[in-house]
Chains A and B, each alone.
Chain A
Amino acid sequence: MGVIALAWWQLALAALMVVALAGCTVLARLGMGRRLLVAAARTVIQLGLVGLVLEALFSVARFHWVALMALGMLLIAGREVTARQTRRLRGGWAFGIGTVAMFLSSFTVTVLTLTVIIGPEPWYRPQYAIPLLGMMLGNTMTGVALALDRLTDTAWRQRAVIENRLMLGQRWQEAIGDIRREAMRSGMMPMINAMAAAGVVSLPGMMTGQILAGSPPALAVKYQILVMFTITLGTGFGTLAAVAAGSRRLFDGRERLRLERLSAPRD
């Protein structure tokens, strides 16, 4: 059973409805008609380009091209993590910590899943590797960004509390312990919520896609479970690593709180 082909003119119909929505938001003075249209245009262009790239990648299926694509995805995710923080660590640390944390968790889990669990031939076969890594990175990115934003923002607000705890002779880990735990929780919460609601409230996107493409639902469900577990692993370990490194960077070698290492918010 094949998939029903979609023609561009059929997409144009959907696009027309988005334009109609933009018109309505302008009438309602929500002030986001322009942003909506720009985001919609970005979707078309970005996905169109990635389609071309994937077509080319699938036809060559060479390891170094797959690795290059993965590296590009990682760097863009790192940039996105940085952009989503109100107060970020200066001097490239926000980007560095976010990117390294995502690399360690997402790449390790993806490679493990490919080699040990799914086992395509060769293991880096782009039809499996790239979508899997994309889903991992997308979710890990959200978790890491949320956690780091929570960490730096709370540390900023609670400066006096942290310093008072230091004055009483507490180690830096203890003085920022509550904030660290809160940040880790907020990074892992979306994934835990998604697992709890999966299939009851929403049908996960990947499973839906597989079913639309003609897979039997039982197989689609197995893949979905696997993907949700790996995403949770990636997000969890990524968040833990990012918060551990980020909170260490808020203190210096003398265990002093150094909030001047955070940049001021832009707005």
Chain B
Amino acid sequence: MPATEALRLDRLSVGDLAPVSLTLAPGEILCLSGTSGSGKSRLLRAVADLEPHGGEAWLGETAQSSLAGHAWRARVMLVPAESQWWADTVGEHLPEARRDDLEALGFSPEVCDWQVARLSSGEKQRLALLRALSREPAALLLDEPTANLDDATARRVEAWLCARIRARGWPVIWVAHDPAQIARVADRHRRIVEGRLEEAGAWA
């Protein structure tokens, strides 16, 4: 059953960024770009309620402040640029990973027995996406989800992500740098310029 809830930011403010108000329809991908240090990651952290911020975020009719922190984050899931792993094997982090998802990302089911310590940064990034998506969130915040991947793999991951996003109807904020990728995945594109979100329009 696809989710049908929109993600709405209502004058959300964090750090030096001017208050942000925007609405994301179910299944809509908003790409966010901007120079490093412009506050993209902090904005995502505020939407996920990982740091103190002003304003409010809404998922459908549910306000961020009306849910406990962990319950909100389980629904509005942030996938950071650098993933962290705490247990020894991959499988302990991925209890309910589906076989077809593993294959779509280029892994065999044996990956669950692998030691986390021997994963490359690209493998970690793909598995972190899988780890987040397998927890069935209701909205996604992706911080440079293909930064550590080669072009071919990036395209493959991108296609898998888009298919899952459309199928589940998740509203998504996707931080990206590559104009070609933004042109491929974005329904809308905003750029952070001097502490403000500006409509960037089509890039390609």
A contact set with B: CB distance below 8 Å? 160-161, 163-172, 178, 252-257
Q: Which of A161, A169, A253, A256 has the most CB of B within 10 A?
A: A169
Chain B residues whose CB sits within 8 angstroms of the CB of A256 once the complex forms: 49-52, 69
| B135 in contact with A164 (CB, 8 Å) | no
Given A160-B84, A178-B86, A255-B68, A168 and B135 contact (CB-CB distance below 8 Å):
yes
| A168 in contact with B132 (CB, 8 Å) | yes
Number of A-B contacts (CB under 8 A): 58
| A171 in contact with B70 (CB, 8 Å) | yes
The answer, among B79, B85, B86, for a CB contact under 8 Å with A167, is: B79
Chain B residues whose CB sits within 8 angstroms of the CB of A164 once the complex forms: 80, 83-84
| B135 in contact with A169 (CB, 8 Å) | yes
A-B complex: 8 closest residue pairs judged by Cβ atoms: A169-B74, A255-B69, A164-B84, A254-B69, A161-B84, A167-B78, A171-B70, A160-B84
Count contacts on B: residues with CB < 8 A to the other chain: 25
| A172 in contact with B50 (CB, 8 Å) | no
| A167 in contact with B80 (CB, 8 Å) | yes
Whether B126 is near chain A, meaning CB under 8 Å from some CB there, is no
| A255 in contact with B70 (CB, 8 Å) | yes
Interface of B is mostly: loop
Chain A residues whose CB sits within 8 angstroms of the CB of B135 once the complex forms: 168-169
Whether B43 is near chain A, meaning CB under 8 Å from some CB there, is no
Whether B40 is near chain A, meaning CB under 8 Å from some CB there, is no
Given A255-B68, A256-B49, A166 and B73 contact (CB-CB distance below 8 Å):
yes
Least CB distance, A262 to chain B, in whole angstroms = 16
Chain A residues whose CB sits within 8 angstroms of the CB of B51 once the complex forms: 256
The answer, among A160, A163, A169, A255, for a CB contact under 8 Å with B77, is: A169
**CA–CA, A178 to B86, complex, Å?**
9
Least CB distance, A168 to chain B, in whole angstroms = 6
Chain A residues whose CB sits within 8 angstroms of the CB of B50 once the complex forms: 163, 166-167, 256-257
**CA–CA, A171 to B71, complex, Å?**
8
Least CB distance, A22 to chain B, in whole angstroms = 47
| B70 in contact with A169 (CB, 8 Å) | yes
Given A167-B50, A255-B68, A160 and B73 contact (CB-CB distance below 8 Å):
no
Whether B48 is near chain A, meaning CB under 8 Å from some CB there, is yes
**CA–CA, A137 to B54, complex, Å?**
45
Whether B82 is near chain A, meaning CB under 8 Å from some CB there, is yes
Q: Taking A160-B84, A166-B50 as given, write out 5 further A-B residue pairs in contact, using a Cβ cutoff of 8 Å, ordered by the A residue number.
A: A166-B69, A168-B73, A169-B75, A170-B70, A256-B52
User: Which A residue's beta carbon lies closest to that of B136?
Assistant: A169
Chain A residues whose CB sits within 8 angstroms of the CB of B70 once the complex forms: 166, 169-172, 255
**CA–CA, A169 to B139, complex, Å?**
12
Given A167-B48, A167-B73, A169-B77, A160 and B82 contact (CB-CB distance below 8 Å):
yes
User: Which A residue's beta carbon lies closest to that of B51?
Assistant: A256
Within 8 A of A (CB), among B74-97: 74-75, 77-80, 82-86
User: Which B residue's beta carbon lies closest to that of A254?
Assistant: B69
Least CB distance, A108 to chain B, in whole angstroms = 33
Least CB distance, A172 to chain B, in whole angstroms = 7
Chain A residues whose CB sits within 8 angstroms of the CB of B79 once the complex forms: 167
Given A172-B70, A254-B49, A255-B68, A165 and B86 contact (CB-CB distance below 8 Å):
yes
User: Which A residue's beta carbon lies closest to that of B87?
Assistant: A178
Given A254-B49, A256-B50, A256-B52, A168 and B80 contact (CB-CB distance below 8 Å):
no
Chain B residues whose CB sits within 8 angstroms of the CB of A163 once the complex forms: 50, 80, 84
Q: Which of A163, A165, A167 has the most CB of B within 10 A?
A: A167
User: Which B residue's beta carbon lies closest to that of A159?
Assistant: B84
Chain A residues whose CB sits within 8 angstroms of the CB of B137 once the complex forms: 169
User: Which A residue's beta carbon lies closest to that of B75?
Assistant: A169
User: Which A residue's beta carbon lies closest to that of B128?
Assistant: A164
Chain B residues whose CB sits within 8 angstroms of the CB of A171 once the complex forms: 70
Chain A residues whose CB sits within 8 angstroms of the CB of B189 once the complex forms: none
Whether B131 is near chain A, meaning CB under 8 Å from some CB there, is yes
Chain B residues whose CB sits within 8 angstroms of the CB of A166 once the complex forms: 50, 69-70, 73
Listed A/B pairs (19) with beta-carbon separation below 8 Å: A161-B84, A161-B86, A163-B80, A165-B84, A166-B69, A166-B73, A167-B50, A167-B77, A167-B132, A168-B74, A168-B77, A168-B135, A169-B73, A169-B77, A171-B70, A172-B69, A172-B70, A254-B69, A256-B49
